[in-house]
Amino acid sequence: MKIMEFRAEERPREKLLEKGRESLTSAELLAILICTGTVEKNAWDVARELLMECDGKLEKLMGMDVWRLKKIPGIGKAKAATIAAAMELGRRACEERVDSGAVMNDPKLVFDAMLPRLKGLDHEQCWVLLLDKSLRCIAKEKVTSGGGSSTVFDTRQIVRAAIDRQANAIILVHNHPCGDCTPSKADIEETRKLQMAVQPFNIMLVDHVVIAPDGFFSFTEESAFYPDGSKMF
């Protein structure tokens, strides 16, 4: 059944205009973006199939790229681009705190600021927050993107980004898609390398925050130590 054959008050677009966007389900909102369906399925059906692919979780949808979206029958290149653009706008709205010169003096602030960017990804990404001497965020930059279980931090790229932006301090952030935010041995070793690399430039590594979907690990907050017994921060 085509959406245009629904009663007017049941059509997603008309429902939004009449009752407001809060009244729509996620499938109905997606149906507006998808606009048209296929011969067999209307836009609402396609939207529900897309949500099923994401286990009903919008955070997973935010992590899907255009190529994965296009695998859903009824979603071509243009529709995939529209959905990806809408998800990115929503993500950026959630991230504005870190983009507006916020003081990043608490790992919980880092977690709240970066979770929209990292939650839902099926692979690890490493980001660096570039800070001024007051720990206000100058910029953030993705430095590496790895596999499903690990990523190697590009220390030279991080140092170069900090120097280029005249940052006085940095915070390293990366995610663990597995859900366990406990740092690995590789995470600890890469942290040591970065700490040593920025010291000659009088740049302070303030923290390394490992983000999982439902929590985080802060090297600074946990007063972490290196295997040789020396304190990390």
For residues 47 and 141, membership in a common domain is answered with no
For residues 77 and 174, membership in a common domain is answered with no
Q: What is the CATH number of the domain that holds 85?
A: 1.10.150
- Identify the domain containing residue 122 by its residue range: 101-218
CA 183, 184, 190 angle in degrees (round to 5)?
A: 90
For residues 129 and 78, membership in a common domain is answered with no
For residues 80 and 32, membership in a common domain is answered with yes
pLDDT tens series, the chain, 233 aa: 566 667 767 788 898 998 898 999 999 999 999 988 888 888 889 999 999 998 888 878 887 889 989 999 999 999 999 999 998 888 777 776 555 567 899 999 999 888 888 887 888 889 999 999 999 999 888 887 665 455 667 888 899 999 999 999 999 999 998 888 999 888 888 888 999 999 999 999 999 999 998 899 999 888 656 555 666 66
For residues 39 and 142, membership in a common domain is answered with no
For residues 207 and 110, membership in a common domain is answered with yes
- Indicate the residue among 93, 124, 139 that finishes a domain: 93
Residue 224 lies in a domain: no
Count of domains for the chain: 2
For residues 174 and 119, membership in a common domain is answered with yes
Residue 226 lies in a domain: no
pLDDT confidence of residue 231: 63
pLDDT confidence of residue 60: 81
pLDDT confidence of residue 179: 83
pLDDT confidence of residue 224: 58
Q: What is the dihedral of CA 192, 197, 199, 200, to 10 degrees?
A: 150
